[in-house]
Copies of this chain bind each other. A is one copy, B any other.
Amino acid sequence: MSSEPGATPTPLLHRGLSHRVPDLGALELLLAVARHGSLGAAAREVGITQPAASSRIRSMERQLGVALLDRSPRGSRLTDAGALVTDWARRIVEAAEAFDAGAQALRGRRDSRLRVAASMTIAEYLLPGWLIALHAERPDTAVSLQAGNSAAVAERLFSGEADVGFVEGLAVPDGLDGVVVAHDRLALVAAPSHPWARRRSPLDPAELAATPLVLRERGSGTRQVLDAALSAHGGLAQPLLELASTTAVKAAAVSGAGPAVLSELAITEELASRRLVAIPVKGVLLRRDLRAVWPAGHRPSGPARDLLSLTRG
């Protein structure tokens, strides 16, 4: 059993998150206890027996090294630490709900009642939330999702493979009608250690254009918007790095490779924790519209309409 004596500088702390964070089932159980004020009632809600719930919460307390519940013969209430842990747990569970909503749509069969085609950014950041909301209002709507670029979305709409599409970009593709459902601003960001992070005055667009950046590859939606916005200021400099995914660009920027331009949607987490810092730029509108689209003249009805009414009220 790995009884090698020396070694392991950081003692056992590096066996991965999953050994330090309770699994989803335990977190759901904890939320249920918080709601009901009782282990037994929570157990019933999640479909296990009371002893199972008792033991599971107890091993979670052992794992975390923190007492979560005040148990009494009249029920169980969260301790102060327990309340905090429960709130953090709720965020994991919410992320898991979004994952689940997305995964179900991805698996969705062709006979789904609502077939959605969406661009990557929208599928990644916005759609799971919409699907959760849709499920809350119309629980029996089976949704299927296909992700692709604007051209692929348009094609699926024309061929009848999709009921409604979502695209990001400057204009509505030919032959489609659409409404704007959200906006996405592009932000210039850098690691906090970058000199620009300390600037007090907004950056000049020409200076931005002249500086090599970490970017998505040519042809991506983000890159197009940026190209267009900076064409009046001398055009984009040769990129510092060209990467294939938003995630890769983000990782490069966080690790200090250089400044990057990314969708606000992609970086809220990083900004909140100051892994990245936004750098204001003077007078350049790095904004793009996110639109719901459908074949011209065929305004969506039924489930597609339900979905749209969620996205834009």
A311 contacts across to B, CB distance below 8 A: 274
* The one of B10, B84, B136 that contacts A124, using a Cβ cutoff of 8 Å: B84
Please report the C-alpha to C-alpha distance between residue A148 and residue B98 in the assembled complex, in whole angstroms: 31
Query: Which segment, of A85-93, A172-180, A216-224, A286-294, faces chain B?
Result: A85-93
Query: Does A283 sit within 8 A of B, measured CB to CB?
Result: no
Query: Which segment, of A99-107, A206-214, A225-233, A296-304, faces chain B?
Result: A99-107
A197 contacts across to B, CB distance below 8 A: 313
Query: Does A83 sit within 8 A of B, measured CB to CB?
Result: yes
Given contacts A126-B272, A129-B269, contact A100 B20 (CB under 8 A): yes
Interface residues in A160-197 by Cβ distance below 8 A to B read 192, 197
Query: Does A120 sit within 8 A of B, measured CB to CB?
Result: yes
Query: Does A64 sit within 8 A of B, measured CB to CB?
Result: yes
Interface residues in A54-86 by Cβ distance below 8 A to B read 64-66, 80-81, 83-85
A148 contacts across to B, CB distance below 8 A: 80
Please report the C-alpha to C-alpha distance between residue A74 and residue B197 in the assembled complex, in whole angstroms: 41
Which interface class (under 10, 10 to 19, 20 to 34, 35 or more) fits A? 35 or more
Please report the C-alpha to C-alpha distance between residue A64 and residue B96 in the assembled complex, in whole angstroms: 13
Q: Which residue of B lies closest to A23 (CB)?
A: B23
Query: Does A94 sit within 8 A of B, measured CB to CB?
Result: yes
Q: Which residue of B lies closest to A312 (CB)?
A: B274
A89 contacts across to B, CB distance below 8 A: 99
Query: Does A275 sit within 8 A of B, measured CB to CB?
Result: yes
Please report the C-alpha to C-alpha distance between residue A10 and residue B142 in the assembled complex, in whole angstroms: 11
Query: Does A281 sit within 8 A of B, measured CB to CB?
Result: no
A97 contacts across to B, CB distance below 8 A: 17
* The one of B21, B93, B247, B273 that contacts A24, using a Cβ cutoff of 8 Å: B21
Given contacts A23-B24, A136-B275, contact A46 B16 (CB under 8 A): yes
A5 contacts across to B, CB distance below 8 A: none
Q: Which residue of B lies closest to A96 (CB)?
A: B21
What are the 10 closest A-B residue pairs judged by CB atoms, nearest first?
A129-B273, A18-B25, A65-B107, A18-B24, A92-B95, A88-B99, A91-B95, A95-B95, A21-B96, A87-B124
